[in-house]
């Protein structure tokens, strides 16, 4: 007998444990190893504390491996039931680690992509660019994490009491009284281990919806008053038998449907992730939140009417399986929800009443509501199955997908929307990430930590790819143009370019390679602009590394001080810029991800337009090896007398190509290819060079001898 | 002929695709008069509409005058019932999810008039089986 639900549940626990492990790594990197903060505050005992966390997650991961193996090995139904309970207990452990343990550890920085995401909520949902969206990172993982501004209570009670007290005295004549400042902000809270996990972000729309649901939008009547008026007393009496806070239940559902309305099907998945991560408390219905399975079914039904894409066989199979799992978990606590008349009525009323009153109705109130969110909803409605799976394929290959090709060839791409990328990333988790975990853990022995780190690396790579896609796409909308005729004639075929060794490829040849996909450059939204006579322009990427003088450990004092090479990474948000001062050096990267065939080499150079300002693009390292894959690093230097303002997306560099006889060992095939597949620049990895290692080893050996 | 939907499709009628795949489980419809009992079911038009269309298709194939009695155990407002049972059905025509209740009712009467059909939505107490009310459409 197959126990798919149990297996899926174990995989969810595993997923959560890896996320915790990933978070601990992020804390270590930022605060205790390598980061600027770490170098300023070296807390020697902290890594040991982190180790105990890491050990706990390692134990959970190793246990998951055992559970998965057991499930593959003809378990009895009693085994399956025990595995279900063990999984719940594991999730409870992780919840406690998050809520109690993490409170004792510093919080890593919020990635720029999450700031962007909250900005989108402000600009496109609330339609108020000036509105401040306050994002709070929380140790809490249950839905109480999302209770408004955590400082609000302090402002509204303690600070108010304090100021009232101060104001009650006339300390100084003619002084104005101090008042509590009213914050015009929308508060959103996110559990801290989700800050780097974009698949969970759509849930933030639910949180934002709580702030949106003002009297203006809802009308004067409460939800409960509306329901009672609509269904009459006798049916309403069934709802009252549930003995819950119906207004709160209805509000939760409204916020769910709103989230699904503006962000689309990825909302279903993100809500599922948040429900599954927290096992329900002891028996009975929650006072303020409807059962998770009922909410997921309502979201599914709602999406089903609006977004036919969820009826796609692959997606609907996953959605149904998630609902079944959540229902099984809920049934342990509340029994079969369909057999409770009150729950049936609640579900029916929510589906019908909210749909008509807000989301699809034709009454003036409803159309005003729909008009307000039309721009977001239009984007959701444009998600197409074919595009979705193309994005998925790109992400799966570790390629960012800020844009996706619109034609059969690769010479024109359209920017992707946040909604598309998030849905593709959710599908990636379900169809690629979790099965990969299952496969790895049931075939490998979790005896050593390298397997765990391998799993974490898989997650890191997926997250980074999705985050880069989200970050870059916003810029692309500015450069996007309809496919233009390049008026190129006599375009040679790939084979002829390959066989005729050419020192410098022309526009015809570059075009041919791009069109066939032999040379991949992504994103490519405006080829006419980027293609020169014998070059392809590259844009400036979004991340920069600024190097700082290291005053604590001057170079040369000790060989080991080379470790303390101070630098600070800056990620720019949309329309932000960075200034390169005269004589300043920094690392940056190309906006484009390149993939060169093993018979094509690239030569990087600056563009004359920027060279005239004094900008250098590389520090004598302009050669790109055949078979290279990744973004290319720019070593920027300002050799002019004035500062240069740089925006991501500017075409600052160009790439020339030459065909070569295929080398025996193309770049990407080399085990020591340090910069392969990078989505952004990387600091120098000189310490990984064999010659450096040899020298260092020899010095160490002599030091030890002299002692 | 009486069809108890819960026994055939289960208590949850939310997924139209799922119901479509299970339509062969419905008994062969040969009678002029059909009673469909949706008692104890959670209804949604995406799924129930599939059943409605299937039955009207059978009526059409059998060249019989449709007479359909739909039984439900919750005394919902008429607009809920019509929406759950007839929205987006091929029988009523395209895009009937977003029209007003009056319009939907008018359309249903018109379509039934064209085929001399009749539909009764009967609200019936689940325990006593007493009829609470009938909504009648068509002739």
Per-residue pLDDT tens for B56-77? 888 877 666 778 999 999 999 9
pLDDT at A127 over 90: no
A398/B contact by beta carbon, under 8 A: no
Are residues A452 and A58 in contact, defined by beta-carbon separation less than 8 angstroms? yes
Long-range contacts, stretch A51-54, CB < 8 angstroms, 24+ apart: A53/A20, A53/A24, A53/A97, A53/A101, A53/A105, A54/A21, A54/A24
Q: Tell me what the pLDDT averaged over chain A comes to.
A: 86
Q: pLDDT tens, A80-114?
A: 999 999 999 999 999 999 999 998 888 898 888 89
Residue of B nearest to A363 (CA): B100
CB contact (8 A) between residue A235 and residue B76:
yes
Choose, from A635, A688, A698, A703, the residue flagged as catalytic. Answer: A635
Give pLDDT, residue A561: 43
Q: Give this prediction's pTM.
A: 0.88
Q: Please, what are the domains in chain A?
A: 202-380 (no CATH), 382-480 (no CATH), 481-694 (2.70.40.10)
User: CB under 8 Å to A101, separation ≥6 — which residues?
Assistant: A53
Chain B nearest CA to A402, separation (Å): 33
Report, as an integer, the average pLDDT of A188-200.
91
d(CA A600, CA A505): 10
Please give, one letter per residue, the 3-state secondary structure of A135-171: EEEECCCCHHHHCCCCCHHHHHHHHHHHHHHHHCCCC
pLDDT at A361 over 60: yes
pLDDT at A156 over 50: yes
C-alpha distances in Å from residue A155, one per residue of A161, A162, A182, A657, B130: 9, 10, 9, 61, 59
CB contact (8 A) between residue B16 and residue A304:
yes
Give pLDDT, residue A551: 63
Give pLDDT, residue A511: 94
What are the chain B neighbours of A239 within 8 Å (beta carbons)? none
d(CA A7, CA A3): 6
Task: Tally Cβ neighbours within 10 Å of residue A535.
Answer: 21
* A449: helix, strand or coil: helix
Give pLDDT, residue A559: 47
- Is the four-CA dihedral A96, A139, A334, A6 of positive or negative sign? negative
C-alpha distances in Å from residue B117, one per residue of A418, B4, B51, B87, B92: 49, 21, 17, 18, 13
Report, as an integer, the average pLDDT of A73-83.
91
Of A235, A297, A339, the CB nearest to B75: A235
Q: pLDDT tens, A564-621?
A: 567 788 989 888 999 999 999 999 999 999 999 999 999 999 999 999 999 999 998 7
What are the chain B neighbours of A301 within 8 Å (beta carbons)? 14, 44, 46
A300/B contact by beta carbon, under 8 A: yes
CB contact (8 A) between residue A344 and residue B80:
no
Phi, psi of A187 (to 5 degrees): -100, 130
Q: pLDDT tens, A13-72?
A: 999 999 999 999 999 888 886 555 555 454 455 667 788 888 999 999 999 999 998 998
A234/B contact by beta carbon, under 8 A: yes
Chain A nearest CA to B133, separation (Å): 14
What are the chain B neighbours of A234 within 8 Å (beta carbons)? 75
Alpha-carbon Rg for chain A in angstroms? 28
B44/A contact by beta carbon, under 8 A: yes
Instruction: Return the beta strands (E) in A572-650 as ranges.
Output: 578-580, 585-595, 600-606, 615-616, 623-624, 629-638, 644-646
Work out the angle between the directed axes of helices A418-428 and A449-479 (0-180°, nearest 10). Answer: 160
Task: Note the ipTM here.
Answer: 0.91
C-alpha distances in Å from residue A24, one per residue of A32, A109, A112, A128, A350: 11, 13, 19, 36, 41
d(CA A25, CA A567): 19
pLDDT at B13 over 60: yes
Clarify whether A635 is annotated catalytic: yes
Are residues A45 and A105 in contact, defined by beta-carbon separation less than 8 angstroms? no
Q: pLDDT tens, A268-314?
A: 999 999 999 988 877 789 999 999 999 999 999 899 888 889 889 99
d(CA A41, CA A44): 9
Tokens 């992400």 -> residue: A395
* Distance between start and end Cα atoms, chain B: 20
Are residues A424 and A386 in contact, defined by beta-carbon separation less than 8 angstroms? no
Taking the domains of chain B in order of start, what are their residue ranges?
Answer: 2-138
Of B12, B75, B80, the CB nearest to A352: B80
Q: Give ∠ CA B118-B124-B125 in degrees, rounded to 5.
A: 180
């Amino acid at each position: 007998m197959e126990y798919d639900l149990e297996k899926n549940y174990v995989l969810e626990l595993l997923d959560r444990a890896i996320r915790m492990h990933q978070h601990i790594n992020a804390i270590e990197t930022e605060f205790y190893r390598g980061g600027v903060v770490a170098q300023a505050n070296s807390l020697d005992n902290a890594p040991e504390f982190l180790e105990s966390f890491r050990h706990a997650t390692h134990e959970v991961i190793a246990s998951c491996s055992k559970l998965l193996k057991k499930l593959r090995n003809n378990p009895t139904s009693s085994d399956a039931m025990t595995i279900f309970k063990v999984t719940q207990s594991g999730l409870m452990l992780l919840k406690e680690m998050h809520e109690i343990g993490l409170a004792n550890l510093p919080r890593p920085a919020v990635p720029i992509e999450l700031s962007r995401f909250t900005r989108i909520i402000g600009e496109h949902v609330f339609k108020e660019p000036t509105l401040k969206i306050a994002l709070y990172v929380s140790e809490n993982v249950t839905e109480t994490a999302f209770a408004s501004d955590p400082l609000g209570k302090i402002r509204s009670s303690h600070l108010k009491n304090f100021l009232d007290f101060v104001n009650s005295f006339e300390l100084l004549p003619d002084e104005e009284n101090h008042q509590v400042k009213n914050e015009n902000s929308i508060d959103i809270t996110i559990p801290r281990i989700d800050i780097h996990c974009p698949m969970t972000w759509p849930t933030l729309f639910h949180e934002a919806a709580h702030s949106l649901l003002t009297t203006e939008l809802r009308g004067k009547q409460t939800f409960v008053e509306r329901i009672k008026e609509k269904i009459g007393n006798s049916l309403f009496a069934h709802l009252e038998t549930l003995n819950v806070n119906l207004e709160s239940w209805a509000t939760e559902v409204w916020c769910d449907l709103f989230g699904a309305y503006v962000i689309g099907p990825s909302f279903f998945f993100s809500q599922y992730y948040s429900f599954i991560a927290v096992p329900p408390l002891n028996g009975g219905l929650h006072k303020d939140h409807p059962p998770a399975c009922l909410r997921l079914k309502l979201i599914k039904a709602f999406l089903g009417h609006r977004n036919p894409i969820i009826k796609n066989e692959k997606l609907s199979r996953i959605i149904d399986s998630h609902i079944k799992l959540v229902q099984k978990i809920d049934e342990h606590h509340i029994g079969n929800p369909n057999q409770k008349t009150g729950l049936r009525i609640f579900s029916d009323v929510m589906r019908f009443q909210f749909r008509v009153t807000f989301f699809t109705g034709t009454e003036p109130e409803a159309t005003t509501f729909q008009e307000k969110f039309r721009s977001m909803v239009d984007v959701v409605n444009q998600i197409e199955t074919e595009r979705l799976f193309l994005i998925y394929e790109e992400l799966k290959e570790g390629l960012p997908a800020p844009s996706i090709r619109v034609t059969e060839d690769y010479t024109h791409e359209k920017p992707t929307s946040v909604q598309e990328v998030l849905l593709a990333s959710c599908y990636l988790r379900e169809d690629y990430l979790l099965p990969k975990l299952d496969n790895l853990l049931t075939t490998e022995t979790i005896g050593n930590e390298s397997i765990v780190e391998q799993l974490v690396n898989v997650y890191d790579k997926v997250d980074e790819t999705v985050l880069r896609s989200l970050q870059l796409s916003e810029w692309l909308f500015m450069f996007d143009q309809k496919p233009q005729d390049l008026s190129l004639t006599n375009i040679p075929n790939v084979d002829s370019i390959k066989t005729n060794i050419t020192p410098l490829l022309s526009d015809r040849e570059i075009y041919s390679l791009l069109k066939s996909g032999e040379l991949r450059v992504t994103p490519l939204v405006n080829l006419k602009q980027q293609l020169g006579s014998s070059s392809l322009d590259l844009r400036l990427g979004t991340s920069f590394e600024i190097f700082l003088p290291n005053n604590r450990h001057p170079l040369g004092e000790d060989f080991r001080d080379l470790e303390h090479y101070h630098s600070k990474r800056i990620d720019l948000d949309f329309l932000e810029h960075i200034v390169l001062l005269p004589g300043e050096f920094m690392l940056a990267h190309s906006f484009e991800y390149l993939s060169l065939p093993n018979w094509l080499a690239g030569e990087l150079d600056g563009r004359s337009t920027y060279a005239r300002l004094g900008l250098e693009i590389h520090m004598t390292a302009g050669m790109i090896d055949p078979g290279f894959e990744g973004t290319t690093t720019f070593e920027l230097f300002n050799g002019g007398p004035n500062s240069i303002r740089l925006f991501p997306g500017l075409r600052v560099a160009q790439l020339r190509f030459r065909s070569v006889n295929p080398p025996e060992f193309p770049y990407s095939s080399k085990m020591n290819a340090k910069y392969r597949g990078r989505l952004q620049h990387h600091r120098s990895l000189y310490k990984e060079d064999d010659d450096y290692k040899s020298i260092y080893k020899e010095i160490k050996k002599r030091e030890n001898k002299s002692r | 002929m009486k069809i108890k939907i819960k026994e055939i499709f289960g208590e949850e009628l939310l997924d139209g695709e799922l119901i479509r795949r299970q339509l062969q489980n419905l008994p062969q419809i040969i009678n002029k008069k059909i009673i469909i009992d949706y008692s104890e079911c959670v209804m949604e038009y995406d799924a129930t509409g599939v059943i409605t269309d299937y039955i009207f298709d059978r009526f059409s194939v059998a060249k019989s005058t449709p007479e359909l009695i739909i039984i439900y155990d919750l005394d919902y407002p008429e607009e809920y019932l019509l929406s759950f049972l007839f929205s987006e059905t091929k029988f009523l025509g395209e895009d009937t999810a977003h029209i007003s209740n009056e319009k939907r009712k008018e359309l249903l009467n018109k379509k039934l008039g064209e085929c001399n059909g009749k539909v009764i939505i009967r609200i019936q107490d689940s325990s006593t089986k007493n009829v609470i009310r009938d909504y009648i459409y068509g002739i």
